[in-house]
Amino acid sequence: MNDFGNNYEFKNSLNFFKRHWKLLTCVFVIAAVVSVVASLMVTPRFKSSAILFPTSSNRLSKAILAERYSLDYMDYGIERDCEYAIQILSSQSMEDDVCRRFNMMEHYGIGSDDPQKLFKLHEAYRSNVSVRRTEFLGVEISVLDVDPQWAADIANFMASNYDTLTSRIQQDRSRDAYLIMQDVCAEIEADIRSLEDTLRKDKSRFGVAELISDKTKELAEIQTRMSQTKVDMARPVSYKFWLDKATPADKKAYPKRAVIVLLGTIGALAICILMLLIADRIKSEKKEEEK
């Protein structure tokens, strides 16, 4: 029964193609020609990529100045640092810096008087610039553009600007922390002076000397942190290890003309076959009704 059913289906399919082979051939040729022309009309784009490893999020001053050098300033970042890097590279601040530096609105052909210019710029940027994590906790910046040199320059600028944005964040944070620690130190120093005055007036006062000692140790610890924070505020450092800098591509990455032609031709044939099957079904139903 199965063989009979398979043979029956095969014969039906064969008869279908025998009846419509001329039409299907015409559709195939026309679809192939149209797909080729369409693929040639698409502007080719080139892809350039830069790969970096984020450094550890531990402050460089802490790694160098901490007691017994407890941290390695050559440490690669962990997964958290990789996610931080992706967030910064994908941020609106990065997009604004890139668009300003390379005048991307003009480059993408967006008019300055267009009421939707910012939306169009954002969409064009997001469709051509991507950031992803690599298998080994690196970060890859990929840029598509009609100009291969332009694509490479944007990718390299983003990698360099990553240091600028990260440094800006850390310096702002360090400045706030430094001001807070200054206030805390002033309070502790005032407490120590008050305790010393108390001790001078009454040397037999129980526990005052120990309290002064504890306050002095606390002050020294905070002052050490202040010196580390001051280094972070004043000294910009790199927050990445370069692995690969972007170079201009010598081969287009988009469009894949063979894929466009193949999909366009197959799609047109599939639609044509579907329409013919529907038409045959309608004809057969009409014949049955007439009988």
For the whole prediction, is pTM greater than 0.85? no
- Asked if the model's pLDDT at residue 233 lies above 70, the reply is no
The count of residues in the chain is: 291
pLDDT, tens digit (0-9, with 9 covering 90-100), for 192-230: 888 888 777 776 666 777 888 888 888 888 888 877 777
* Alpha-carbon dihedral angle through residues 169, 170, 172, 178, given to the nearest 10 degrees: 160
Q: How far apart are CA 278 and CA 16, in angstroms?
A: 12
Q: List Cα–Cα distances, 193 to 179, 190, 203, in angstroms.
A: 21, 5, 15
pLDDT tens digit string along 147-170? Answer: 999 999 999 999 999 988 888 877
Helix, strand, or coil (residue 54): strand
Q: Domains in the chain, start-ordered, CATH in brackets? A: 1-42+258-291 (no CATH), 44-177+237-254 (3.30.1890.10)
Name the one residue in this structure whose structure tokens are 């390299």: 156
Which stretch of DSSP H or E encloses residue 131? strand 129-133
pLDDT given for residue 51 in this prediction? 93
